[in-house]
Amino acid sequence: MQPIEEIGLQATLARIREITAPTATPVTAATSLETGVSSSAFASQLASAQTSSLTDLLSGGATAADGSLGTSTATALAALQGTGNTGTPSAQNVSPFLGGVGQVSTALTGPQPVANAPAGTTTGTAGERGRLIAQIATRELGVAEEPAGSNNGARIAEYRTATANSGVGPWCSYFCSWVAAQAGVPIGSTGQGEGWVPNVQSWAKQTGRWMPSGSEVPPQAGDLVVFDRNGDGLTDHIGVVTGVRADGGISTVEGNSSDRVSARNYGRGEWTGIVRLVPPGA
């Protein structure tokens, strides 16, 4: 007969192995944000998150009066972790969708400063996943077409792999589709990516992710920003929001901008709309 102490030790070790064992949940058309929330329910979740936690997040807290995570913020973080606990994300909680891209190391602690951007630029209401989207895009800065003007190159061909039926051509939307897929929040009704900006806009409107220019809800890091540069009513360019300013302006990283992945800055409202990939705090 085993001693009671040995039985207890074995049970504890078995539980530790169970908790730390890596898991992989495939992306399916029926889920959104890896939380099991259906795409059709995204608008309700987003509205709830924006109205219940926006004030706390903008104040730099996302915390309750006692310093702990606020209820809605904690729930969003727990759902993102997929663990059911509201503590700081474990270093072992590695998403199977990152393809070798490391996760953001900071927990949900409110707006974070953005390097190499105008003074006062922060991540806004973005949580861990929103900051991850911005981080993945930022790591691609400097990737250029080979040769210039070709809409092609080894890395750009990699971006196209995130979009079904893609081909050589303008690649700003391919870039955003790749970034979103790497972060585990793929674009499109089945996660197929999109190579045409109006299709991204249409998908965003259908799923409650679209915020037109002038919306009362401010952008946050990890959003996509859509432009109509020709002014003809047809959107034609898209990038990733990496930071926001108190004056309403934003910083971005954009593919196919001067034949490369480039960083840009805009004043308030100098875009057609925002596509919100994850709710505030997530």
Could you report the per-residue pLDDT of 140-199, keeping only the tens digit for each?
999 999 999 999 999 999 999 999 999 999 999 999 999 999 999 999 999 999 999 999
Assigned domain for 223 exists: yes
Assigned domain for 21 exists: no
Instruction: Output the pTM of the full model.
Output: 0.69
Determine the structural domain holding residue 250 and report its residue range: 109-275
Assigned domain for 51 exists: no
**pLDDT at residue 205 is higher than 60:** yes
Assigned domain for 203 exists: yes
The confidence score (pLDDT) of residue 99 equals 40
* CATH number reported for the structural domain that contains residue 168 in this entry: 3.90.1720
DSSP, residue by residue, the chain: ---HHHHHHHHHHHHHHHHHS-------TT-BTTTTB-GGGHHHHHHHHHHHHHHHHHTT--B-TTSSBPHHHHHHHHHHHTSS--SPPPTT---TTSTTPPPP-S-S-S--B-TTSSTT-B-TT--HHHHHHHHHHHTTTT-B-SSTTSS--HHHHHHHTTSTT--SS--HHHHHHHHHHHTT--SSTTS---SSHHHHHHHHHHTT-EEETT-SSPP-TT-EEEE-TT-SSS--EEEEEEEE-TTS-EEEEEEEETTEEEEEEE-TT-SSEEE-SS-TT-
- Name 110's Cβ contacts closer than 8 Å, sequence gap at least 6: 57, 59, 60, 61, 62, 63
Assigned domain for 269 exists: yes
For the chain, what is the domain count? 1
**Which two three-digit tokens encode residue 207?**
């799923």
Assigned domain for 45 exists: no
Assigned domain for 178 exists: yes
The confidence score (pLDDT) of residue 107 equals 55
The better pLDDT of the pair 106, 27 is held by 106
Assigned domain for 280 exists: no
